[in-house]
A and B are shown apart, each in its own frame.
Chain A
Amino acid sequence: MTKALVSVPKTARRGDIIDIRAMIAHPMETGYRMGPNGVEIPRRIITRFVCTYGGEEVFFAEFFPAVSANPFVSFSLIASASGTVGFEWTDDQGQTESASAEIVVT
């Protein structure tokens, strides 16, 4: 896993519905494809995505082989307090990649 991009508003008013976006560069190799040498390309996918807000899990998603390369997730949260919005992706070998962004809620 190499590069993740996240989008969280820098500021919001308490109670606002805010858009959160997260993308990670990942091949999401299904395990069903043959390589040029006729050998199966091993499966390598992200299986789980978690978003935390102020340390508490607020959103998660399970990914399967049908999810495209560079998976992009967009969802909304309610701005409740200033703090850290954290993102973590876990692949089927247990490797993780994370990103975070701060939000100030007034």
Chain B
Amino acid sequence: MRGLAAGAGVALGSPMVLAQTAPKVVVIGGGFAGASFARAIKREDPQIAVALIEPNAHYTACPLSNAVIAGLRDMEAQHFGYAGIEADGIVHVQQKAIGIDPEQRRVVLTDEVRLSYDRLIVAPGIDMRLDAIPGYDANAAERMPHAWKAGEQTLLLRRQLEAMEDGGLVVISAPANPFRCPPGPYERASLIAHYLKANKPRSKILILDAKEAFSKQRLFEAGWAALYPGMIEWVSLSFGGAVTEVDVATRTLRTEFGDHRAAVANVIPPQRAGAIAALAGVADRTGWCPIDPVTFESRLVPNIHVLGDAVIGGAMPKSAFSANAQAKAGADAVIALLRGRDPSAPKLINTCYSLLAPDYGISIAGVYSPKDGLLAEVEGAGGTSPLDASLAERAEEAAYGEAWFDTITAEAFG
């Protein structure tokens, strides 16, 4: 008890892991970054006492949740519990962190309960910025869902699509960079088109984009032309893609060059690091967290490391694959720091698979290493699927994507 928590009322596991001499590592956030980190550090150095603070009993994974929206997959397949993590000797503290005291190196769970740490990992994922688009607040999200955190929002968007009449206009608004899952809005448009083509073929999809270009753009556009001709229209920033206001009552999205009234509106707003990052003082004015790219230690608060979507990752995109890669490199670095060794510079890999249809997958891969204080792309490594790949190859990539999901969720939660 004393080893990890000051105060009563929290059962933190076996006395062995809490031996007072063992270094204490506390992880806030049980997503891909936090869960992967907790397991990686425990596996590499079982002496370290690891507590994972996560209020939810299970995690709802975002990758493949676009398939849930399109009715191709059950939500249950996105749920992952923490039993496997607990079996590793990691203490799952099913509470919410409400504050951090970096001077005393303690996490505040409730008024009475504090958890002390030698190194703290903040892996809070993202929060929607519900003040960024006039008219788009928490209430608006109930009518024009973002569905950018998997869960109720995902199911809400699916129900709206199911309820929509044939011939309806689905509008997806995509934010400027950086945001979680750069190819996500375009995969979503593809899979919604797949659903509409089979069920409501007179319907159309309009993507209003606050960017001039997007991830895997040529592959997506070629796929749309082949699979869903005339169904998906993409409007770039210059051509009036930036949504300046929404009117919830009429489901209207306003842009600099006109209004678009939607039957179903999926507004993906700009984002920031999850709320605890700001409370911990590790987020800067951008809303994201500057880090040392070798150790993932915050540039703003010592002894706190930030992982996953919340970080300013330089060239590295915000993805589950990135979060997992950062978590494993971060675990190495934290062990080195705890044991008084020099951390070594990591080489990190990311791959993002996107589905354009259940049997049509594309991918982008990149390799990243620290350079000039950020994570920079290693030139000549990585790439995308070929533009002229055969349908058999697209089907293989779709299968690789699903295999990747099984692998990464097994590694983080299994």
Contacts and interface: CB of A to CB of B under 8 A. Distances in A.
A25 B239 CA distance: 8
A18 B240 CA distance: 18
A20 B257 CA distance: 10
Contact of B239 (A6, A21, A23, A69): A23
B238 A21 contact: no
A25 B257 contact: no
Interface in B226-241: 238-240
Contacts of A3: 239
B257 A7 contact: yes
B258 interface: yes
> Which one of B239, B240, B256, B258 has the greatest number of beta carbons of chain A within 10 Å?
B256
Interface string B228-263: 000000000011100000000000000011100000
> Which one of B238, B240, B258 has the greatest number of beta carbons of chain A within 10 Å?
B238
Query: Nearest 5 A-B pairs (CB), nearest first?
Result: A70-B238, A5-B257, A7-B257, A21-B256, A5-B240
Interface of A: 3, 5-7, 21, 23, 25, 69-70, 72, 74
B256 A7 contact: yes
Nearest to B212: A70
A14 B219 CA distance: 50
Contacts, number: 22
Nearest to A26: B238
A69 B258 CA distance: 21
Main secondary structure of the interface of A (DSSP, over half): strand
> Which one of A23, A25, A69 has the greatest number of beta carbons of chain B within 10 Å?
A23
A89 B84 CA distance: 65
B258 A72 contact: no
A69 B240 CA distance: 14
Given A5-B239, A21-B256, A23-B240, 6 more contacts: A5-B240, A6-B257, A21-B257, A23-B239, A23-B256, A72-B238
A25 B238 contact: yes
B132 to A, nearest CB: 20
15 contacts: A3-B239, A5-B239, A5-B240, A5-B257, A7-B256, A7-B257, A23-B238, A23-B240, A23-B256, A25-B238, A25-B239, A69-B238, A70-B238, A72-B238, A72-B256
Interface in B327-380: none
Nearest to A70: B238
Contacts of B238: 23, 25, 69-70, 72
Nearest to B258: A7
Interface in B13-42: none
Nearest to A22: B257
Nearest to A19: B256
Contacts of B256: 7, 21, 23, 72, 74
A69 B238 CA distance: 9
Contacts of A25: 238-239
Contacts of A70: 238
A46 to B, nearest CB: 14
B240 to A, nearest CB: 6
A21 B258 CA distance: 11
Nearest to A7: B257
